[in-house]
Structure 1
Amino acid sequence: MSEVALVGIDIGKHTFHLHAQDRSGREVLRKKCSRQQLMRFFSNHPVCTVVMEACAGAHYLARELKAAGHDAKLISPQFVRPFVKSNKNDFVDARAICEAASRPTMRFVAAKTVEQQTLSVSHRIRESLIRDRTKTVNQMHGFLLEFGISLPTGLAVVKRLASILEEHDLPVRLIALLQRQHDHFVYLEEQIKVLDKELESQLADDDLGSRLLSIPCVGPITASLLAVQMGDGQQYSCSRDFAASVGLVPKQFSTGGKPNLLGISKRGDKNLRRLLVQCARVYMLRLEHQKGPLAEWVRSLSMRRHSNVVACALANKLARIAWAITTRHTQYEAEPDVTNA
């Protein structure tokens, strides 16, 4: 087993499929094992490079393998798919992971720490609660509309529910159900507020998150999620790479030497991309109060481009600023406005 240089693991819930190869790419091992057998296998195995797809459980497994002395790497599943040959099975997937990892230009995903993963869980629970809150409000609108009661969009149904139930002759059972929906909305609202306070308190103790808050119009939620997704930022060679990973760069479809740029690629974490675009829109709404080169750049761009294009361009700029703050261990400092100096 000393000749093994690279091991690809196809991760499952209970079983794991291993494909090992030497430095020349020749297969030297195929093995199926349970979770306990997997950790026992690598604890007794000489140090090697272990590669997995970045999926559920991969970050935990990468930390455990690194603790055992191995070099654990994660690959985005979209980069492994082209290397799957012929019919698909777990061993073929493990071999495809090895082939993808052998490419010198392959991009890897940084393994998250325990703190980053925990913070990521908080963000995902918060997003789930927000979706449930929106669904609850929409259901209340729909139920009332079925009985001929039309209300403005938004939270009007929640604020005016008591008066609506008094003004209209509705079935008793329907009133009870709507009141139950209202109570569920109040519960979701309280849970979201609790999570927001927890994220803000965690951010106050995080040096990186506190520095990211110095970026214009970036609030605690966006700064916290940036800190989770970016880590130390070393997995990106430049700020544009980080902006591209969030999907804030044009999608390219060029051929025959003729460049053709489309809309933004929308790759990566859509929640982070949405938050950055919202931060950009808030900055644009307060543009008359903003100063410095960034504000002048936005004003100049707004004169010749649509507001949606400007918002995406500014979100790209904010992502680049966040990467620079992370990697250089600094905070955002707006340069003086040259035109008013």
Structure 2
Amino acid sequence: MSEYVGFDVSKEETSFCVKDRDGKVLVRGKVATDPVALFETLKEHCVYPERIVMETGTWGHWLVRELRCLGVDVDLIDARQAHAVMKLQHNKTDANDADLLAEIARTGFCRPVAVKSEAAQMDRTVLKARQHLIRQRRDTENAIRGLLGAFGHRLPKGVSKFEGRVQFVLEVCPALSGVVGPLLKARAAVTRCLEALDGEVRERAAHSPACRLLMTAPGVGPVTALAFASTIDDPARFGKSRSVGAYAGLTARRNQSGEMDWSGRISKHGDTMLRSLLFEAASSLLTVVRKAHPLKDWARRIRKRSSHKKACVALARKLAVILHKMLASGEAFRWPEAAQA
């Protein structure tokens, strides 16, 4: 008898539901959020599980990797697709969510998503920690600007002269030292940690063959290369390289119904960090890189008839497709012969 299992994962406990082929609930309950505990639960209540489903989330990739190591094949589905089904229920509980996940497993409504490897997950952890420190430093700087601005002190833009200017203001107004001084020390500590993570990113990119290959493309540095390689992880999971543009949320939305058919702004689906880094790489290619390339000419024509931002978005999508093709084929970025000369 085939069985279908749904796991609704939370921090401490995981609700589970087991259904048969006809949709009848065989057993439901709760178990600790631990791979071994989930494995023992499956051994106890399932004879032949046809499909096991859980949502993406903080614990999802780790649980799926550990369960697969124990010999249990688990499908990870997009939480947004699961939420579209779950929001139809009148009473939202963990038990009802597990019941609906088991129903999704039985009907095959949602397609599974790729589970990242442990190495790719570690690379993304470093990048997310770096991104968090950048936001923290920016928020601290804005707080200092606001506090000093209330007394008429204007600080220059950027971070290169920020600390020296704040120190000068504190010398002029010693009364502000007790308030702004701790914030300035916190900013210095965050900056040191950020520099350490930047070194970690450069080291990981230098030791990764995929990152070294991606960095042959203009505008792509260690951060963008590591983010792209860790997000894509396995290039073979994309049948076509042009699908990566839609995966990163860099393609236009479309709304078609009857006689109505319009295309709007980009979807912004997918990973926000990868999308912003690809935009920065495209902007660097368009404005900083000196060598001539047909990609730059194409983006400049777009910029001439629309705007710089739209040209960078279009170039970022092209760059995502090219980078995936480089990973899939193992071929470095090719410059025109005139540019090489």
Q: What TM-score does the superposition give when structure 2 sets the normalisation length?
A: 0.89
CA contact (8 A) 1:15 1:32 kept: yes
Query: Cα deviations across residues 155-197 of structure 1 (Å, max 9, x unaligned)?
Result: 344221232223x2441xx213323222222211111111111
CA distance in 2: counterparts of 1:304 and 1:269, whole angstroms: 29
CA distance in 2: counterparts of 1:29 and 1:37, whole angstroms: 16
CA contact (8 A) 1:83 1:99 kept: no
CA distance in 2: counterparts of 1:256 and 1:337, whole angstroms: 50
**Structure 1 unmatched runs, 5+:** none
Say if 2:2 is the partner of 1:3. yes
Three-state SS of the structure 2 residue aligned to 1:290 is coil
Say if 2:109 is the partner of 1:111. no
Q: 1:213 to 1:98 in 2, by over 3 A?
A: farther
Counterpart code for 2:169:
I
Equivalence map 1:149-160=2 (5 Å): 149-155=153-159, 156-160=161-165
Q: 1:132 to 1:94 in 2, by over 3 A?
A: same
CA contact (8 A) 2:5 2:49 kept: no
CA distance in 1: counterparts of 2:193 and 2:131, whole angstroms: 11
Specify the alignment match of 1:307 in structure 2.
Answer: 308
Three-state SS of the structure 2 residue aligned to 1:259 is strand
Specify the alignment match of 2:134 in structure 1.
Answer: 130
CA distance in 1: counterparts of 2:108 and 2:324, whole angstroms: 24
Alignment coverage as a number of residue pairs: 334
When structure 1 is superposed on structure 2, of 104-113 and 76-85 the one drifting more is 104-113
Equivalence map 1:1-341=2 (5 Å): 2-4=1-3, 6-35=4-33, 36-42=36-42, 46=48, 48-84=50-86, 85-101=89-105, 106-155=110-159, 156-166=161-171, 168-171=172-175, 174-286=176-288, 289-336=290-337
Three-state SS of the structure 2 residue aligned to 1:41 is helix
CA distance in 1: counterparts of 2:105 and 2:291, whole angstroms: 46
CA distance in 2: counterparts of 1:146 and 1:109, whole angstroms: 50
Three-state SS of the structure 1 residue aligned to 2:5 is strand
CA contact (8 A) 1:49 1:73 kept: yes
Query: Cα deviations across residues 114-150 of structure 1 (Å, max 9, x unaligned)?
Result: 2122211111111111111111111111111222222
- Deviation, 1:48, is 4.1
Cα RMSD after superposing both structures:
2.4
Q: 1:196 to 1:240 in 2, by over 3 A?
A: same
**Structure 2 unmatched runs, 5+:** none
Q: 1:93 to 1:122 in 2, by over 3 A?
A: same
When structure 1 is superposed on structure 2, of 312-321 and 11-20 the one drifting more is 11-20
Q: 1:284 to 1:161 in 2, by over 3 A?
A: same
CA distance in 1: counterparts of 2:270 and 2:121, whole angstroms: 17
Percent identity, aligned pairs only, is: 28
Runs of 4+ in 1 over 6 A off after TM superposition: none
CA contact (8 A) 1:42 1:65 kept: no
Three-state SS of the structure 2 residue aligned to 1:296 is helix
Three-state SS of the structure 1 residue aligned to 2:74 is strand
CA contact (8 A) 1:292 1:336 kept: no
- Deviation, 1:282, is 0.9
CA distance in 1: counterparts of 2:106 and 2:58, whole angstroms: 23
Q: What TM-score does the superposition give when structure 1 sets the normalisation length?
A: 0.89
Counterpart code for 1:39:
F
CA contact (8 A) 1:15 1:33 kept: yes
CA distance in 2: counterparts of 1:330 and 1:18, whole angstroms: 46
